[in-house]
Amino acid sequence: MSEQAPTLLLYGTPKDPSFYEEILNSENWGIVSDNGHARDVVFTIYENFGRADAIVAFPNAHPVHLLTLLAEAEVGHPLILQSQAEIITSDADIERKPIIFYGTHEEWQSFRNQLAEMEAQGLTRQSFDRHVHYCHSPADLENYLHEHLPHEIPSTRLHYYAHTKKRSDLSLDVAEDVRPPADITISFFGSASTKAEKHIQQASKAARMCARKNWNILHGGGGGGVMKELSVSGSRAKAYVLGISVDGSGAPVITFERELGTGRPEDIDHFVESKDMLHRIETYAGHSEAFVSLDGGIGSLQEVYVIAELLSKNHPVVTYQTAEGGRAPKPLFLVNESGIYTPVLEYLSERGLKHIRDQIQVVDSIEELQRGLERAFEQAPPLARDIRDKGRFRDRYFEVEHPTTPRLLRGPDLSGLDNGGERGREPGMSA
CATH of residue 302: 3.40.50.450
- In angstroms, rounded to a whole number, what is the distance separating the alpha carbons of residues 275 and 168? 6
Cα angle vertex 60, ends 188, 189, to 5°? 5
Task: Give the C-alpha separation, 411 to 113, whole Å.
Answer: 36
Domain contains 417? no
Same domain, 121 and 180: no
pTM comes to: 0.85
Q: What is the pLDDT along the chain (431 residues), one digit of tens a residue?
A: 445 578 899 999 999 888 888 887 777 788 888 876 666 788 788 888 888 899 999 999 999 999 999 999 988 888 888 866 666 666 777 889 999 999 999 999 999 999 999 999 999 877 878 899 999 999 999 999 989 887 666 555 555 566 666 766 666 777 766 667 888 999 999 998 899 999 999 999 999 999 999 999 999 888 889 999 999 999 999 999 999 888 877 787 766 655 444 456 778 988 888 888 888 888 888 889 999 999 999 999 999 999 999 999 888 889 998 998 899 999 999 999 999 999 999 999 999 999 999 999 999 999 999 999 999 999 999 988 766 544 444 334 444 443 333 333 333 333 443 443 333 333 333 33
Q: Give the end of a domain, one of 143, 164, 185.
A: 164
- C-alpha 366/C-alpha 206 separation (Å) is 6
Are 160 and 207 within one domain? no
Whether residues 225 and 265 share a domain: the answer is yes
Query: Is 411 domain-assigned?
Result: no
Same-domain check for residues 262 and 142: no
In a domain, 403, yes or no: no
Last residue of a domain, one of 106, 135, 164: 164
In a domain, 1, yes or no: no
Same domain, 104 and 191: no
Looking at the fold, whether 139 and 232 belong to one and the same domain comes out as no
- pLDDT of amino acid 50: 84
pLDDT recorded at residue 298: 93
Question: Within a domain: residue 124?
Answer: yes
27, 76, 87, 393 from 253: Cα distances, Å: 34, 6, 12, 26
Partnered with residue 392 across adjacent β-strands are: none
Is 408 inside a domain boundary?
no
From CA 78, how far away is CA 161, in angstroms rounded?
Answer: 9
105 and 153: one domain? yes
- Residues 274, 332 within the same domain: yes
179 and 253 fall within a common domain: yes
Q: Single out the residue in 118, 140, 164 at which a domain terminates.
A: 164
Residue 411: the pLDDT is 37
Helix axes 298-312, 63-75, angle to 10 degrees: 140
Q: Kindly state whether residues 67 and 189 are assigned to the same domain.
A: no
Q: By C-alpha distance, which of 49, 51, 13, 45 is closest to 29?
A: 51
Strand partners, 319: 329
Q: Which domain holds residue 107?
A: 7-164
| Residue 431 lies inside a defined structural domain of this protein | no
- Same domain for 68 and 159, yes or no, is yes
**What is the domain count for the chain?**
2
324 plus 375 within the same structural domain:
yes
Whether 56 maps to a domain, the answer reads yes
